[in-house]
Structures are given as structure tokens and as C-alpha cells.
Amino acid sequence: MIYYLVTQILKTGDKFGFLRVLTYITVRSILAFGSALLISILAGPYVINKLSELKIGQSIRKITKEGSPDLFAIHKGKSGTPTMGGLLIIVSFLIPVLLLCNLKTGKIQLLIVLTILLGLIGFGDDYKKLIRKDARGLSPKYKIIGQLLVGFLLGLYIYVSNLPVNYYYKGVTGYTYLLVPFFKDVYPNLGIFFILFAMLVIVASSNAVNLTDGLDGLAIGVTIITILPYIIISYLVGRIDFAKYLIVPYIPNSGEITIFLSAMSGAGLGFLWFNSHPAQIFMGDTGSLTIGGLLGTVAILLKQELLLIFIGGIFVIEALSVIIQVLSYKITGKRVFRMSPLHHHYEMGGMAESKIIMRFYIVSVLLALFGLSLLKLR
């Protein structure tokens, strides 16, 4: 809205030329980050108090294993901590997005719609668990169906809308081509199967973040670290000079995604203020499913889907630990890890929660830097 007003004012002449600075992507990104951070920090105490009044608190499962620490004993003090804090994150970054982004840009419109749809899926699960007091929440089947539907809508929109993208490689055009890390001249074309690929990315990324959300500040901290490289990428691929130099797709208007991601990171940092150990609030599925799905969506829109495997490596590792654990137990009757996801494996080994979180942050930073370097190492 602010962006629209500024552009209209600038059309009247040079009298208000100083307002032109508010059309710059870098300036709007900084403003989006700062305003989202401020909204999150200022609104946080009110949201926490309101959720506490409504008795929307986290329940802690009692899981024990002979010879290992009792996780229930470790985490029982968190019982009743306000959750569904994902609402705080979503509102905190959507307000700056609505104010500062060019809302006529199709990619921003798509991201806003998907934010709402993913948020509704997560909210539905939290609502059943916390307000309807149904410990099962939404059944996994319905959550997966919802995520598949979001992925289908995303893939179909991209497939039929013919969004502009320039790969600078002969014969390659359109969003259905994939950019493969380590190779500068390999562009497999998925064709109509791109829709299925988009569905897979959304389901995988959404659930991977959800599985990581098990320790204070872990999921949101890793999310912020994962977002930062994509902020850089979205800016680079939106400039034809940088895109040519790096031999990556040039994607017009992707600079608006820079603003969207900056707002997300600001809202996430503000949430981390309250979610850091010991947490005053948890994000719940409302936050984790939404954030995960948006990371996958951004990776698709920037044509860096496979790069998310490296940049968001912690999420991948956490999800793989669950898959490996389930398969191993079903096939051999034995568990590979003390408990999955992986962060609980270390907890069961006696490692302090704060140390696990910090080490996961460190690994996430290293993976993010490695993933970012792959833009040039092709």
C-alpha cells in the first residue's frame, strides 16, 4: 500500500522525488525486516498473555526409555507454555508485506495466498489439539491432503501462467526446467510432472520444519538462517547483470520476494526473542507448517529447489532421521537412533538442550554458506 501510494505520488512530478528511495528493493527490505521485528516484539507479550488466558498451552508427552534420561522429566516444566504462536509470526510479516511490497506482482499475490492456506492447515491442527482438546489434532491424512492441495495449486499456477524466466542456455525456457547444483549445463525438463514435483517440495519442506520444532528456538532459529541465503539469491536472480555472471536464471520481479523474505526473517527474529530457551511461547503447527511450506514455495519461485536440500540441510537431516528410524524398526525391529527426530537422540544421550540448539545453529550456518557457494560452483 505504501509502495502504491509512493509510486502514485511520484507520477505527479519531481516535487516529492525524495520519496523515490521508498521504491528501492534494498530500502523496502530493510524497512520490512525492521517493522516485522518491531511488530513481533511489541505484540509478543500481548499474544502470550492472551493465549495463557485462553489456556492454549502445550502438552508434554511422557516418553521414557530404560538407561536414558526421562524426556518427560526434562520437559515437563514446559507443560502449559502458550502455543499457536505461529499466528504472531504470520501477522508480523504479512503486515509489512502488504505495506511495502508491490502487490501487483503475481509472485507476491501467490505467496500471500499460500501463507493463508498453509496457516489454515496448521491452525486447524492446533485448534483441534488445544481448543477442542483432541490430542490427535487433524489426522495425518488430512494434513497431507491439505499440503498436497497447496502444492498442486502452486504447481498448476506456475505451469499454466508461463511466468517469465531466462536461463541463458540454448533451448531452455520456462519454470518446468530444474537447475541442478554442481552442473551449469544440466536442465532436466519435468513438463507437466512439474506439478507433482511442486507437491512433493511443499509436503517435504512443510513437514521437515514441523519435525524440527521440538526444542526451544530450534526450528525458528534454523529457519532464519535458511531464509538469509534466499534473501541474497532472490536479489541476485532479480538483476540481469548478476544472473548472467553467476549463470543462474534471471527472474523478473523476484526482488519483491527479497522484501517478503526480509519480513519473514524479521518476524522470526522477533518470535525467537520469546521462543529462545526457556521458551515463553511455542509456534505450534500454525507456524511450522506455514514456514516450511513457504520455504519450499520460495525455492520453487526462485528456481533453486534442489539448493534447499543444502541450505536447509538441518531440516533434511531431521526428516531423514525419522524416516530411517521408522524404516529400520519396521524392517529389522531395531532403532538406529535413541529417539527421533535427531535432536531428541542427543537429548536421550544426556546433552543439554541449549547445547543441542547452538550446535544445530552452527551446522545450519555452515550448510547455508555451502549452499550459497553452489551458485558459483557450477
pLDDT digits (tens, 9 = 90+) for 323-377: 999 999 999 999 999 888 999 899 888 899 999 999 999 999 999 999 999 987 7
- 129 assigned to some structural domain: yes
- 291 assigned to some structural domain: yes
Candidates 158, 187, 125, 166; CA nearest to 297 is 158
55 and 82 Cβ atoms separated by less than 8 Å: no
User: What distance, in Å, lies between the first and last C-alpha atoms of the chain?
Assistant: 40
pLDDT of res. 118: 95
pLDDT of res. 135: 55
Range 234-238, long-range pairs (CB < 8 A, 24+ positions): 234/258, 234/261, 234/298, 234/302, 235/25, 235/26, 235/29, 236/375, 237/302, 237/303, 238/25
Helix (H) or strand (E) holding 210: helix 194-212
- 374 assigned to some structural domain: no
Q: How far is CA 191 from CA 160, 188, 208, 231, 317, in A?
A: 11, 9, 26, 28, 29
Candidates 100, 82, 80; CA nearest to 36 is 100
pLDDT of res. 68: 46
What residue type is 154 in one-letter code? Answer: L
DSSP annotation of 173 reads B
- 354 assigned to some structural domain: no
If one counts the domains in the chain, the total is 1
Lookup: cell for 92: 508480523
Q: How far is CA 33 from CA 18, 243, 268, 331, in A?
A: 22, 24, 10, 47
Give the list of residues 6+ apart from residue 286 with CB closer than 8 angstroms, or none: 84, 85, 86, 87, 90, 119, 122, 123, 125, 126
- 341 assigned to some structural domain: no
205 and 292 Cβ atoms separated by less than 8 Å: yes
pLDDT of res. 39: 97
Which domain range does residue 82 map to? Answer: 2-306
Give the list of residues 6+ apart from residue 88 with CB closer than 8 angstroms, or none: 40, 43, 44, 47, 267, 271, 281
- 288 assigned to some structural domain: yes
Candidates 282, 354, 360; CA nearest to 60 is 282
Per-residue pLDDT of the chain (378 residues; tens, 9 = 90+): 787 787 877 777 677 767 778 888 999 999 999 999 999 999 999 999 988 887 776 665 555 454 445 565 566 666 778 888 899 999 999 999 999 999 999 899 999 999 999 999 999 888 887 766 665 667 788 889 999 999 999 999 999 988 888 887 766 778 888 888 888 778 888 999 999 999 999 999 999 999 999 899 999 999 999 999 999 999 999 998 888 888 888 998 899 999 999 999 999 999 999 999 888 999 989 999 999 999 999 999 999 999 999 999 999 999 999 999 999 999 999 999 988 899 989 988 889 999 999 999 999 999 999 999 998 777
pTM listed for this prediction: 0.92
Helix (H) or strand (E) holding 339: none
DSSP annotation of 163 reads -
- 325 assigned to some structural domain: no
What residue type is 281 in one-letter code? Answer: I
**Average model confidence (pLDDT) across the chain:** 88
Candidates 246, 254, 249, 253; CA nearest to 173 is 249
Provide Rg for the chain, Cα atoms: 21
- 358 assigned to some structural domain: no
Can you tell me the distance from the alpha carbon of 137 to that of 160, in angstroms, rounded to the nearest whole number?
A: 35
